[in-house]
Chains A and B, each alone.
Chain A
Amino acid sequence: NAGVTQTPKFQVLKTGQSMTLQCAQDMNHEYMSWYRQDPGMGLRLIHYSVGAGITDQGEVPNGYNVSRSTTEDFPLRLLSAAPSQTSVYFCASSYRGPGGGPDTQYFGPGTRLTVL
């Protein structure tokens, strides 16, 4: 199993450019999530999905779009990049946990994004 894979590992964008961060998992997990990590702010949830065709907003969704057409893939789209979106982005996946929420989160290696 490859686990959770993310591409690219590094990216530099200019303000206003668009791009898609790719995330894939091969563990047949229902849950997939996107987080951003900024110094001193922990991991903040951007968007999440509880299954193919179902997505919802997290804590900081503005400026980002997602879709989940398959169980395996959960791409994150930046429509018009801004310097405030400079961050490290992590994708994670999990099964449904005992209380109905997400169980153990398996994280990808991350994408370091810089917006100039």
Chain B
Amino acid sequence: GQQVMQIPQYQHVQEGEDFTTYCNSSTTLSNIQWYKQRPGGHPVFLIQLVKSGEVKKQKRLTFQFGEAKKNSSLHITATQTTDVGTYFCAANFGNEKLTFGTGTRLTIIP
């Protein structure tokens, strides 16, 4: 089936350290989206990547889409307490559905 692996499942970092989560697929993706879910909340859209090798930045967040369009990453520089939450990738395989990764839960140690 069309699945996307997301690692790590959990990440605990000291405030100010960097954080990265990765999503990998064995099948070429049409596009990939990233979402953030705060504890007790609902997922909120962060960004969509469509082009091979695409890199997009939002302040301290950097999103990358691999050259083969099979993997993607989200990197946060100098984490802050406001970054706490679970980050999900959501892959589109060229059909009418999104397949979500299992998420990476980020906790910050002040």
Of A40, A48, A104, the residue contacting B96 (CB under 8 A) is A48
Of A40, A99, A108, the residue contacting B50 (CB under 8 A) is A99
For B, the interface residue count at a CB cutoff of 8 angstroms equals 26
Of B41, B42, B94, chain A has the most CB atoms within 10 Å of the CB of B42
Q: Are A108 and B42 in contact (CB under 8 A)?
A: yes
B80 at the interface (CB under 8 A from A): no
Q: A105-B35, A107-B44, A108-B42 are in contact. Are A35 and B100 (CB under 8 A)?
A: yes
What is the CB-to-nearest-CB distance from A31 to chain B, in angstroms, rounded to a whole number? 8
For A, the interface residue count at a CB cutoff of 8 angstroms equals 30
Can you sample 6 A-B contacts with CB below 8 Å?
A40-B9, A42-B100, A43-B100, A50-B96, A58-B97, A106-B45
| A109 vs B42: C-alpha distance when bound (angstroms) | 6
List the A side residues contacting B103 at CB < 8 Å: 42
A74 at the interface (CB under 8 A from B): no
Q: Are B31 and A98 in contact (CB under 8 A)?
A: yes
A2 at the interface (CB under 8 A from B): no
